[in-house]
Amino acid sequence: MSGELLYDGVRPDNPHLSNLSKIEFVITYACTGRCIHCSEGDHPAGGANIDADIAADAVRKIAGAYPIKTVMTFGGEPLLHADTVCKIHAAAREMGVPRRQIITNGYFSKVPACITETAAALAAAGVNHILLSVDAFHQATIPLDIVRCFAKAVTAQDIVLRLQPAWLVNAADDNPYNNRTRQILAGFSDMDIPVGDGNIIFPSGNAKRYLSEYFGDSVPENPYIEDPYDVRCVSFDPDGGVLDGNVHRQDVMDILANYRPIR
Ligand code: SF4
């Protein structure tokens, strides 16, 4: 379901946020993968997780003041905390946010019944778009049969699903990782899942450590860097950090009102 945006135009007087249209949550840095291209580096088990009710409340407040088009959850592996993901997207649906999206590696359980149940819970919460990370890097440590099980469960729920490979250098480059990724994608041909553009790996975290030989003169830029003077996406960290504040300790609208770019 995607209704009308329910924002009423009452928003903090902050010119640096006047084009805000997206909310992101890094649900957790914990992950079931150990990818050598991961821009975040290593993923220690445990660590902070954003409070589900506070996160959902932040969605309602921000989407009540700004025309938010997308709420996205990712990680780490966000579905290690599927209940939190569901609460966030249910709040987004309640506020009429049209795109309610998850990026996942599809590996949060080995139990088919649990995978099916989680896919149903995501659909019930209003998740309507899933980007599934599949490529040579993810499948070095993440079992493909379980990812396929998740893909089938999601497809059965009529959630839009896209395969989202990471490419090294560019999608056309002939290197062992890209070639393996093409093989893995071909292994999904029986499921008829569209393949998205994916993303080009940039030198950060593990990628900088393990794949530096592939970054020559034209180094790909980090596509996730925001202009601090024109913030279009507010991103929450697992510990509740957002902009200059923390939603576990402050009201999110006060954080937005008081945000100033660092000169
Ligand atoms: S790239 Fe994604 S799946 Fe792989 S370790 Fe990093 S967060 Fe986990």
**Mean pLDDT, all residues of the chain:** 93
Residue 226 has pLDDT above 80, yes or no: yes
CA of 38 to the centre of ligand 1 (A): 5
Structure tokens at 165: 């490979």
Residue 118 to residue 102: CA distance in whole angstroms: 13
CA dihedral 33, 35, 37, 38 (to 10 degrees): 40
Nearest to 92 by CA among 127, 121, 129: 127
Backbone conformation region of residue 55, classed left if phi is above 0, alpha if psi is from -120 to 50, else beta = alpha
pTM recorded for the entire structure: 0.94
Span 102-125, pLDDT tens digits: 999 999 999 999 999 999 999 999
38, 107, 150, 211: residue to mutate for ligand 1 pocket, most atoms within 8 A of CB:
38
Please give the distance, rounded to the nearest whole angstrom, from the Cα atom of residue 35 to the centre of ligand 1: 6
Which residue ranges have their beta carbon within 6 Å of ligand 1?
31, 33-35, 38, 40, 43, 75-77, 105, 133, 138
- The token pair that represents 154 in the structure block: 């999601």
Asked if residue 49 lies in contact with residue 7, where contact means CB atoms within 8 angstroms, the answer is no
pLDDT bin (cut points 50, 70, 90) of residue 141 is: very high
The 3-state DSSP class for residue 52 equals helix
Distance 226 CA to ligand 1 centre (A): 21
C-beta separation of 149 from 176 below 8 A: no
Q: Name the residue with the closest Cα to ligand 1, atom 4.
A: 35
The domains located in the chain, with CATH, are 15-258 (3.20.20.70)
Of residues 186 and 215, more confidence is placed in 186
Helical residues (DSSP H) of the chain, grouped into ranges: 52-65, 82-94, 112-125, 144-156, 176-186, 205-210, 252-258
Confidence label for 153 from pLDDT (cuts 50, 70 and 90) = very high
Summarised one tens digit per residue, pLDDT across range 67-101 is: 999 999 999 999 999 999 999 999 999 999 999 99
User: 5-25, pLDDT tens digit by residue?
Assistant: 767 667 888 999 999 999 999
pLDDT at position 70: 98
- Beta strand segments in the chain, E: 22-26, 70-74, 99-104, 129-132, 160-163, 166-167, 199-200, 233-236, 241-242, 245-246
Give the integer Cα–Cα distance in Å for 86 and 128.
11
Q: For residue range 192-208, what is the model confidence (pLDDT) as tens digits? A: 999 999 999 988 889 99
Task: Please give the Cα distance from 33 to 69 (Å, whole number).
Answer: 29
